[in-house]
Structure 1
């Protein structure tokens, strides 16, 4: 078994970021249930305020269902340029403490403060200070998790949300993970959680009783991940220049499409968008995946791996067409998406991971 590497990791997560920005900029929205996203029949909630979340409104929910759950829900169009502006301001605060900052999205990031610019030995105090600075500089609230690795810090940041923080000290890791509900483990989604329930796994303690062979048999490649993290082992470093794993784009249609001719037209537009993003990121990929969401909301993905890297819209579209015609459509289609993975950045990441040295360190948190 791998040795546990102890670092001082902070996971900072902004509270209901998009919705909070809208309430910040428009005082009339404060204290009210709002959803950032489209209110049309095809709309999807990108973010919900805490007032809306009390009614079960959450991100990725259809706007129709969100409105049904919360009749007084106010829809606000997203303003991504504004979110990016504030995200950069927040990121600049992170860099005052450490250069080891790994953004996960506009509203969350990992920080490795084992060695930090302030010379502060307490990761807990650093997290508190960062949250105060964010409030002062932006008017927004942030929550934080602090622990020995990225996995536990990520889980811990949810414990005292909103506007709170949780430190899991090295000697508390084992008990914290054993008491944790399995659905709160980062990387365990709804489907996996239900599967675990059927196997009698409800908490970290239950998961810890299962041998590696058992987990591999039931969860494939993820089995080892679950076996390691429940024992506090997650030795992934905070990577400042986070390497992209995939790149894609998708479109939800105003009306369902049943004609393949119209689908091809949409796929051509999506391929053009992906080509622009690939060019901007200076990457190419070998594995293309077509995502299809039908009118009954069932989701299907079809993938193909090529023997060469592609980045042009013509080759992306050609591969997407092949996947489209792979089998007959079951229903009319409400969403199409294309993503490219197995990128030419993957080898660089593998080399970086091999540089990790397993050393046991002791820290005060």
Structure 2
């Protein structure tokens, strides 16, 4: 019995420590949310008291109501966070109360007149009566704190002002503004569709013609250029954009197999105008550059060749006493085989035997040598 009560005491006070640390953290979070709510309430008051008449903001109808509604939504979010933190504390407090009830019920059948260590206490643990009294006081204190928290939350909610409702005139103005916006969107959609149809017709005619090198559009906004690019990609042709964005950027369409040349890209990207005269001018410049490069290459080649010849001549002159005046191909001679070695003709020195005959002669020579060595070896054995 005492062991069971001792375990319940340990369980209760261990959970009490967890309850204290968790509650402290949750209350700190609630405090931060309360500070945020207080600041937002002050902003709501300032917005409500602001006078927009004869100010640049007067033309924005219902601005104060929209701002107040937005701030009230933020307050609701903060309140929900506080409620979540308080729900955590309440859940832990209910568990703590349950553990206290279990402990109190277990101690009802205990005789407090006994002299056991659990009842009288030890140097490390107070008497059982003090433990039970402290547990009950902890529950009472926790209950008071919970009620205080709920009262605090209620006061915060009551201090909040409801978002003001829009008047009939404001509702009509907002409705007109919405209708004007939707009407503008429809007009833009119709305009974009007409422009797309026009671009499709131009590109289709350009492809059918096949004689024009390119199809150039006027400078226009990025939205219209994106429509041109979309139509061009669908039609299977190339499209390039040139110029400065927001100033004079335009689009040019080319056939799939007849793209722009490097000269044309260079001129257009530099902000120039491309035409036949410019093409002839760029061709002349390119030809002149090519000739200049060729001349430079030939000059470097001649210079390198003269340096090689000079270095070779200097080498021959410097080492003439060692290699002579003639060298390389000039000093080469054809080598011939000697016709005789002394008085023996060279033909007699040639081995005219076949490979088979040569191998047979070698084997016969080895056999003769082996037979000549046998008598001497047998004599030594005797």
User: Is the TM-score greater than 0.5?
Assistant: no
Higher strand share: 1
Greater RCO (CA < 8 Å, at least 6 residues apart): 1
Question: Taking structure 2 as the reference length, what is the TM-score of the superposition?
Answer: 0.16
Higher helix share: 2
